[in-house]
Amino acid sequence: DAGVIQSPRHEVTEMGQEVTLRCKPISGHNSLFWYRQTMMRGLELLIYFNNNVPIDDSGMPEDRFSAKMPNASFSTLKIQPSEPRDSAVYFCASSLVAGDAFFGQGTRLTVV
Amino acid sequence: QQQVKQSPQSLIVQKGGISIINCAYENTAFDYFPWYQQFPGKGPALLIAIRPDVSEKKEGRFTISFNKSAKQFSLHIMDSQPGDSATYFCAAAERGRGGGNKLTFGTGTQLKVEL
């Protein structure tokens, strides 16, 4: 199994632009999580899905952030418009509902 | 709100020594406590996990000690090796309340093992 696959690995964008991060979970996993990692705030859960349905989005910082999971093998996290304070590493993780979570390699986002 | 407190922030250990990282939690509904290891440029990787019905779990050189009454748990790395140099995160989840892997992470400990 290739593990959780995220793309792109690095993204540099200008303030105000739309950014879309992508995630392919491990096949067969039915839970998907988006985390954000910064020096100041550490690892924060943004949103998670069970069986493609958003369960808890209380960690999504603002309306500028949105996440979708159109099917069991794909999810996106979109930031529109992006701001410099959104610069961070964004991780996607997947698991079976009662299993352990496996993380992707992350997307390093820089908003200039 | 910091629900999982982790210490120390950084740790330097000599090769062959024991590395000890501590975590404390507040939410008594937490019932699953994993530790993750993260190398630079990589995602966190599950190292070992414990449930509160046991006081200790050992996997190779890695041991979790759990004190339910004190709401504390710790990671011990025996015979620490330079390859163990990484950032370690403790975490907690409320699996019994359907929280699945909705993990609350500690702030991380940067471990360096010197020769």
Segment B27-76, tens digit of pLDDT: 998 989 999 999 999 999 999 999 989 999 999 999 999 999 999 999 99
Task: Compute the distance between CA of residue B90 and CA of residue B76 in angstroms, rounded to an integer.
Answer: 12
Q: Encoding tokens for residue B8? A: 């120390």
- Residue A97 confidence (pLDDT) above 80: no
Of B45, B100, B104, the CB nearest to A97: B100
Lowest mean pLDDT among A48-52, B11-15, B22-26: A48-52
Task: Compute the distance between CA of residue B113 and CA of residue B101 in angstroms, rounded to an integer.
Answer: 30
- Residue B1 confidence (pLDDT) above 60: no
Task: Compute the distance between CA of residue A28 and CA of residue A72 in angstroms, rounded to an integer.
Answer: 8
| Separation in Å, CA of B99 to nearest CA in chain A | 9
Q: Which residues of A touch B100 (CB under 8 A)?
A: 31, 48, 50, 95, 97-98
Segment B52-63, tens digit of pLDDT: 899 999 999 999
| Separation in Å, CA of A45 to nearest CA in chain B | 7
CB contact under 8 A, A100 and B49: yes
- C-alpha distances (whole Å) from B16 to each of A36, B24, B47 are 34, 26, 19
Q: Which residues of B touch A (CB under 8 A)?
A: 34, 36, 41-46, 49, 89, 95, 100-108
| Separation in Å, CA of A11 to nearest CA in chain B | 14
Task: Compute the distance between CA of residue A93 and CA of residue A102 in angstroms, rounded to an integer.
Answer: 5
CB contact under 8 A, A42 and B107: yes
Of B43, B89, B102, the CB nearest to A104: B43
pLDDT of residue A13: 97
Q: Region B3-26: what's the mean pLDDT?
A: 97
Of B101, B105, B108, the CB nearest to A95: B101
Segment A16-34, tens digit of pLDDT: 999 999 999 999 999 999 9
Of B34, B101, B105, the CB nearest to A43: B105
Q: Which residues of B touch A10 (CB under 8 A)?
A: none
Q: C-alpha angle with apex B20: B16 to B21, nearest 5 degrees?
A: 140
pLDDT of residue B79: 98
Categorize the per-residue pLDDT at B21 as very low, low, confident or very high, splitting at 50, 70 and 90: very high
- Residue B112 confidence (pLDDT) above 90: yes
- Average per-residue pLDDT in chain B? 93
Task: Compute the distance between CA of residue A47 and CA of residue A32 in angstroms, rounded to an integer.
Answer: 8
In sequence order, the 6+-apart residues with CB closer than 8 A to the CB of A63 are none
CB contact under 8 A, B45 and A103: yes
CB contact under 8 A, B44 and A4: no
Categorize the per-residue pLDDT at A2 as very low, low, confident or very high, splitting at 50, 70 and 90: confident
